Amino acid sequence: SKATLKLPLRPLAKGDETSFADPEGATPWATETLRPTNSERRVERNEKTGVVTLAITDDFGEVRDLEHGLVHGSIVREIWTIHPDDPLSATGTTHWTQTLSRNEWSVRTETFADMRS
């Protein structure tokens, strides 16, 4: 048996078929950068032991909100180690620092975490 499928052909458009209004956006966040962001990645190999270390520092900077004056900043430091021949040797250490301040008050939190297999 033979089957046939006939579909209608749509003529090509000669321009935009639909027009949209210009996009709207919020007013950009008004801030003052007090400490710029900075990131560092470093890989080291101990030639004697063979242990590989990845050291990461992410400084997310510090900014002041110009509307209400809150200053916030954060930095994370991570150290990951492993011996390539021993997956169970993997370790991880993190150290987060977060700061908040406004006028005469300030608060700082420090968190530390260690992971071992």
Domain coordinates of the chain in residue numbers? 31-116
Tell whether the torsion through CA atoms of 110, 67, 36 and 52 is positive or negative.
positive
pLDDT digits (tens, 9 = 90+) for 70-94: 999 999 999 999 999 999 999 999 9
Shortest CA distance to 32 belongs to which of 69, 76, 75?
Answer: 69
pLDDT digits (tens, 9 = 90+) for 20-70: 899 999 999 999 999 999 999 999 999 999 999 999 999 999 999 999 999
Shortest CA distance to 78 belongs to which of 53, 100, 46, 49?
Answer: 53
Residue 17 is predicted with a pLDDT of 78
Residue 54 is predicted with a pLDDT of 99
52 vs 55: CA distance, rounded Å: 10
